[in-house]
Structures are given as C-alpha cells and as structure tokens.
C-alpha cells in the first residue's frame, strides 16, 4: 500500500480539498502524510534579490504547522510539512523524490485558477514530470476547505483501461494498492477496435470501402477477454482484491472508456499517461481525452519517468519485469 503520501498545498481552500482523501488513504494503509508548500521566489534578478529571495514568509510556517497538526490530531496519522523554495512543479517533484513518496494527492486547480482544460498548469506539470503516481482529484468549485480532522470516503469501483501492453499495465500496482486501501473492486477494461476488411467496387477499384469483419473482431475480443481473466486472477491472488473484467468493441477508445466508467458506476479511473498511439506530449492522446471528458478523479502513472530515473522506484510499485509477468507478457513484448 501507500506508505508516504505527498500533498502539495498553496494556502488555498481548493488545494486543501485533497487532504480528506489523503487522510483516508494514509489511515487505511498505515502510511504517513507529508505536506509541501512552494515558496515562490521574487520575479527579478540580481544580487539583492538573491540575498533575500529565500526568506520565508512567517505566515507560511504558521500555515503549514497548523495544517499538519490538524491532520495529525483529526485522522490519527503521522503528518509533517515543509516549505520549499522554487517553482511549484519542480518543488513538488523534488520533494516527492526526497521523501520517497509513493503517491501524490492533489486537486486539479489551486491558486493558478481555472483554465479551459481540466488540468491546471501546476497539476499538468506534476503529471508530466513526477516519477510517482498522482491521484488527481476534481476541485469542488469554490467550496471551503474540508475538515482536516475528517477523512473522506474512498473509492468503490476503480476502472483500469488496458491495451495489452506492459506500458498500460504499469499502473496496475498503484491501482491495486488503491483498491486495497478502499476495499474497492478493480474493473479491467479492454477496448478492442473493430477489425476491418476492404470491399472493392469493380467500378471504383481505387477506393475500397472498409467494413467490419465480425468474425475477426469477435476472435480478437475473445482473446482480450481471456487475457484479462488471467490477469484478474493474478491480481486477486497477489493483492487479495475483487476484480471484474470487460471488453468493449469500439473505434473510439476514449469515448468507450468514459462511457463504460459511467455505466459501471466507477468513481476512479487509473491510467498510464501514455501508451500505444500516444502523441508527442507526455500525456497520451487517449488519456488526455479521458481526462477532459470523464468527470471523475484520475490515478495517473508515467512509467517512462520511473524507468529512466536514477533512483529506485518506490517499493509500492512493482518492477517492470513483475509488471510484464502480471500482464502475461514475455520479454519480447517489453517496451524499450
């Protein structure tokens, strides 16, 4: 489970909304909470600025101490906090690395305000840069901060879309750990694209028409169901959790995912931030569409960052070889 949980704060009620969920996870997993507040440097250069730019506002120290004390007293978990200088994204990722965090819990918007995209600039940067799974929660409008002494309910049904690759399966350890914390059911979903075959019109031979091959599509869906069933059994044995499997045939993967999430009453979606068919951005095209369309919290994992990091991956995450074995892949299926 999650032993070290990092919660970034910015002295806003919106950022503090992550505390209730973090407390519930920490209590369920017997973990501890670390708070981090980014101290912003002055936006000018020179020796004068350098001499006092790292001087902290006394109110920041009072704030972080007050929040950590409230969390410790109210939820009976170990909590501490620190103030770190630098840009928010760099500060959060550096702090997660320093404490060996195995989960970052944050709301999608803080002091930076709302943008047209679901992810705000800080949240977007953390998802792209962190070598730690990120639980991204939906901010609840302009609501006041939740009570720091009361943990919020956790999740009941966690949807994990997979594509058959080791990359997409790398989110499974974090998703399974979350299911353990909340006694949730893990729902493994595979979206299979229809298999086309082409019909040629003798009058227009240069422009064949693509139609679905029902037999080939059914065969592919059956293979996917078999693979998911085997994977679900392994997860149940290793993590002692409940699992379900589903295969959906659709040409629009992202739409199928968020429609299935709604139909199955999922309250959390767990995905890697890129996989097959990813764009040049770190957040893959499918994950990005689900982020924007599904009105649900997201558990996001960026496997490329973890595999390239100099330091070991936190113990809550399985090794890449273990992930491949769990997903039923051999070494030839490994992602470089």
pLDDT digits (tens, 9 = 90+) for 231-280: 999 999 999 999 999 999 999 999 999 899 999 999 999 999 864 433 33
Mean pLDDT of 135-139: 89
- Interval 198-223: pLDDT, tens: 666 666 666 666 677 889 999 999 99
Q: For residue 150, give both structure tokens.
A: 């009361």
- C-alpha triplet 54, 57, 60: angle, nearest 5°: 115
Structure tokens at 191: 């979206």
pLDDT band at 63 (very low <50, low <70, confident <90, very high): very high
What's the mean pLDDT in 23-41? 89
Do domains 4-137 and 157-333 share one topology? The answer is yes
Dist. CA 183–CA 133, nearest whole Å: 19
Among 8, 10, 7, residue whose Cα is nearest residue 26: 7
Task: Tell me what pLDDT residue 74 has.
Answer: 74
Mean pLDDT taken over the chain: 79
Domain residue ranges of the chain, discontinuous segments joined by +: 4-137, 157-333
Residue 166, both tokens: 């080791």
Lowest mean pLDDT among 73-77, 82-86, 130-134: 73-77
Instruction: Give the residue among 162, 184, 179 at the shortest CA–CA distance from 271.
Output: 162
DSSP one-letter code for 313: P
**Superfamily of chain region 157-333:** HUPs (3.40.50.620)
Q: Which CATH superfamily is domain 4-137 in?
A: HUPs (3.40.50.620)
Given a contact cutoff of 8 angstroms between Cβ atoms, the answer to whether 192 and 217 are in contact is yes
In this model, does residue 40 exceed pLDDT 70? no
Which is higher by pLDDT, 184 or 326? 184
Cβ–Cβ < 8 Å for 44, 32: no
Q: What is the pTM of this model?
A: 0.80
d(CA 9, CA 88): 10
* pLDDT above 50: residue 330: no
Which token pair is 14? 């919106």
Q: What is the pLDDT of residue 265?
A: 94
100 half-sphere exposure, CB direction, 13 A CA radius: 11
The whole-angstrom separation of Cα 290 and Cα 297 is: 11
């Amino acid at each position: 489970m999650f032993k070290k949980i990092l919660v970034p704060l910015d002295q806003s009620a919106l950022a503090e909304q992550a505390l209730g969920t973090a407390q519930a996870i920490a209590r369920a997993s017997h973990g501890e909470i670390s708070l981090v507040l980014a101290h912003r440097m002055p936006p000018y250069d020179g020796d004068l600025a350098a001499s006092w730019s790292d001087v902290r506002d006394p109110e920041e120290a009072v704030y972080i101490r007050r929040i950590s004390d409230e969390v410790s007293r109210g939820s009976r978990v170990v909590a501490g906090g620190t103030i770190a200088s630098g840009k928010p994204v760099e500060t959060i990722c550096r702090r997660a690395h320093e404490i060996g965090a195995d989960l970052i819990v944050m709301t999608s918007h803080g002091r930076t305000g709302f943008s047209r995209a679901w992810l705000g600039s800080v949240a977007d940067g953390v998802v792209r840069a962190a070598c730690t799974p990120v639980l991204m929660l939906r901010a609840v409008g302009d609501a006041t901060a939740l009570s720091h002494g009361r943990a919020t309910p956790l999740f009941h049904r966690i949807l994990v879309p997979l594509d058959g690759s080791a990359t997409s399966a790398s989110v499974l350890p974090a998703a399974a750990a979350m299911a353990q914390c909340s006694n949730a059911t893990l729902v493994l979903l595979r979206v299979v694209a229809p298999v086309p075959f082409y019909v040629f019109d003798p009058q227009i031979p240069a422009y064949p028409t693509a139609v679905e091959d029902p037999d080939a599509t059914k065969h592919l869906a059956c293979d996917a169901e078999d693979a998911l069933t085997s994977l679900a059994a392994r997860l149940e044995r290793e993590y002692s959790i409940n699992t379900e499997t589903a295969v959906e045939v659709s040409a629009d993967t992202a739409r199928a995912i968020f429609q299935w999430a709604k139909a199955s009453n999922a309250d959390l979606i767990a995905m890697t931030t890129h996989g097959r068919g990813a764009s040049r951005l770190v957040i893959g095209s499918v994950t990005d569409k689900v982020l924007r369309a599904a009105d649900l919290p997201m558990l996001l994992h960026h496997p490329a960052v973890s595999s390239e990091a100099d330091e070991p991956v936190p113990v809550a995450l399985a090794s890449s070889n273990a992930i491949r074995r769990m997903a039923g892949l051999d070494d030839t299926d490994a992602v470089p």
